[in-house]
Each structure stands twice: as C-alpha cells, then as structure tokens.
C-alpha cells in the first residue's frame, strides 16, 4: 500500500518483553469498546495528521499511555495500517480512561472474547509482529 491509510491500529506490547504470538507467553493490550467489544487501540486520521501522529494520539486517548512505534504492517487491511508499538514495562493490570468509546483497558495473553473482530485477525497480526 503506497497511499496514506484511512485508519491506524496499534499492536501494543511492553518494553523489555519478548514479542510472542498470542498464547505464547507475552501480553498484548486491548481496549473494550462499549458496542464492538475487545479490540486493539486505533482510529481514523485527522486532517493533516500523519499515520505516526494519529497512532500515538489514538493510543494515548484510548489507553492513557505513551508509545513508541517499532514497525508498521501496511498491507494487512486495504485502508489501514497496523503498527507494533511498545509502552512502559510498568503498565500492568486493567484500568479505565476518560474516553466514552473505551469501557476498559486490559492486557491479554490470549485473544479476548471478540464481537466485531475475528480471532484470526489477532492471531495473524501476532504472527506477523513476532516474526
């Protein structure tokens, strides 16, 4: 994909942890949308915003955490990019944020119960970013 994406998503792991496929021992951060259920953080780009800026903003808004982009997967979704990002290793447990579109934020070692997404999407992304 050569054009800028319409949306960006974040595959969030902790700094210092080994990146493994889901169920392989590591944890990935998911946010719980009130209607769509558990998903990875992300959203649409705003006017004049770069994909990097949008991703950092979305992670901050939806999790309250600052992140560092490791690498992008620009091919998985036709109109969106997914980045592996890392956050502080002190980010643990589950919590809420001041965002009406996020009911809860939680680390998962396996794919959480999904509604709008598929387990295969998260398993594919886990394999991509752990390779």
Q: What is the dihedral of CA 73, 126, 12, 15, to 10 degrees?
A: -110
- Residues 79-121: pLDDT tens digits? 999 999 999 877 766 677 888 899 999 999 889 999 999 999 9
Q: Which of 68-72's residues contact partners 24+ apart within 8 Å by CB, and which partners?
A: 68/15, 71/129
| Angle at the Cα of 76 from the Cα atoms of 21 and 35, rounded to 5 degrees | 80
**What residues are paired with 31 via a beta bridge?**
39, 105
* Residue range 44-83, pLDDT digits in tens: 999 999 999 999 999 999 999 999 999 999 999 999 999 9
Supply the pTM of this predicted model: 0.90
Q: Is domain 7-130 annotated with CATH 3.10.20.30?
A: no
Does residue 1 have a pLDDT over 80? no
Digit-coded pLDDT (tens) for 20-29: 666 666 789 9
14's tokens: 């902790």
Using an 8 Å Cβ cutoff, are 11 and 129 in contact? yes
């Amino acid at each position: 994909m050569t054009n800028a994406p319409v949306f960006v998503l974040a595959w969030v792991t902790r700094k210092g942890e080994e990146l493994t496929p889901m169920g392989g021992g590591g944890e990935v951060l998911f946010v719980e949308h009130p209607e769509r259920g558990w998903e990875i953080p992300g959203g649409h780009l705003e006017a004049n915003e770069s994909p990097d800026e949008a991703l950092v903003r979305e992670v901050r808004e939806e999790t309250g955490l600052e992140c560092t982009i490791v690498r992008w997967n620009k091919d998985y979704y036709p109109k969106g990019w997914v980045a592996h990002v890392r956050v502080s290793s002190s980010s643990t447990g589950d919590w809420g944020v001041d965002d009406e579109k996020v009911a809860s934020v939680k680390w998962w070692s396996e794919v959480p119960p999904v509604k709008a997404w598929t387990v295969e999407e998260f398993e594919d992304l886990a394999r991509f970013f752990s390779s």
